[in-house]
Amino acid sequence: MNDYVEAAIFIGLGCIGAAYHWSKKRYLDRTTNLDLVGYLLTDRRATYKALSALVVAEIGLSMAHSLDTGFMPTLSELVGALTAGYAADSRFNRAEDQITQEQ
């Protein structure tokens, strides 16, 4: 498989992990009432930092992918890609919590 395609797959998985972080903030923690687009656009610098960290982490993970396993990444690589996206968004994307502002 082409290295660029593999990196794109890992970046896509990282974006899913980042979206899961937003859904946890909105539906489980109830710390924001912003939709996903609003969450990403509220603090663009923080979103840029989160996406930069996500892309770098996912490219590193895709480079560590063993070619012996073939096209499909292993389960541990999939979990690592999702976790890297979640962690990057959790650490760097500091959109203001709208619920606490309204109170």
Using one digit for the tens of pLDDT, what is the confidence trace for 85-97?
Answer: 999 999 998 766 6
In this prediction, residue 31 carries a pLDDT of 87
Query: Tens digits of per-residue pLDDT, 9-62?
Result: 999 999 999 999 999 999 998 888 889 999 999 889 999 999 999 999 999 998
Rounded Cα distance, 96 and 63, in Å: 34
What is the residue whose two structure tokens read 């980042």? Answer: 18
Q: How many domains does the chain have?
A: 1
Rounded Cα distance, 93 and 101, in Å: 17
H-helix segments, 24-97: 36-42, 44-63, 75-92
| Token reading at 100 | 């606490």
Of the pLDDT bands very low, low, confident and very high (cuts 50, 70, 90), residue 72 is: confident
Quote the mean pLDDT of the chain.
86
Residue 70, pLDDT above cutoff 70 = no
Rounded Cα distance, 58 and 39, in Å: 22
Provide the domain limits for residue 44: 3-102
